Amino acid sequence: HQPTSNKVPGRAITSFSNSIMSVHQWISEYRVGVVESVQESGGKGTKALKICQVNIGDPDNLITVVTSASNVRATSRLAVAPVGSTVLAPSGEGLLIKKTSVGGVMSEGMFCDSKMLAWDGGSEGIAAQIDPSVAVGTAPPLKKPRPQYAEEATALPESEVQGMYEKKLTKEEKKKLAEEKKKARKAAKEAKKAAGSE
């Protein structure tokens, strides 16, 4: 009886891993780009669009990318799928990037979100931020490079928090500590006396 109930999750996992494999093949076509300028467009009743001039490795030939991603601003370092590359569509299928008119402006690429890069975490429709250690014009990393830095970053606040916590404790326990020191001194004196009398 049980094998039938296990079929569906198994199928979902294989299709998910297949899409990751596809993304890992496509990602070599993507480029890390820096947004040089952003022009807001769209007004009443239309979705706010950002017309971005992006450097994907050739500062003299910036490409135009039109996006509705809310977290894109000037100097953002993002993964760009240029014309001719393939991205993972929400349907789970590959979508070929073509020069397309978006809001009346020709867009020559698309900013990738974490899902399109098969990265852990991140939200759909939010452009994935690329670490400054990855050079402009190169392919984005296969995995989100953040955890390595996050561990180092979180280690510091934790120790600060501990320090604060310890300071609070020392205030409360000052008397206890003082008493313990006194006892230790007394014990040491008594031991010396005992040693001297022997």
Q: Which tens digits make up the pLDDT trace of 60-98?
A: 999 999 999 999 999 999 999 999 999 998 888 899 999
The 3-state DSSP class for residue 159 equals: helix
Task: Write the CA distances from 153 to 42, 122, 129, 143, 150, integer angstroms.
Answer: 38, 19, 17, 19, 5
Residues of the chain with pLDDT > 90, as a percent, come to 47
More confident site: 133 or 14: 133
- pLDDT band at residue 19 under the 50/70/90 scheme: confident
Closest by CA position to 27, among listed 122, 107, 119: 119
Residue 155 has pLDDT above 50, yes or no: no
**Phi/psi at 4 (5° precision):** -65, -40
114 contact partners, CB below 8 Å, separation of at least 6: 120, 121, 122, 123, 126, 128, 144
- Residue 5 phi, psi dihedral angles, 5° rounding: -70, -20
Residue 45: φ, ψ to 5°:
75, -5
Residue pair 139/31 in contact (Cβ under 8 Å)? The answer is: yes
The model's confidence at residue 172, banded by pLDDT at 50, 70 and 90, is low
pLDDT tops 70 at residue 126: yes
Supply the pLDDT for residue 89.
87
Residue 178 has pLDDT above 80, yes or no: no
Which pLDDT score, from 0 to 100, does residue 105 have?
93
Average pLDDT, the chain: 79
Predicted TM-score of the model (pTM): 0.64
pLDDT at residue 4 greater than cutoff 60: no
With the C-alpha atoms ordered 101, 106, 108, 112, is the resulting torsion angle positive or negative?
Answer: negative
d(CA 37, CA 187): 73
Beta strands 100-102; 94-96: pairing state: unpaired
The predicted pLDDT at position 173 comes to 63
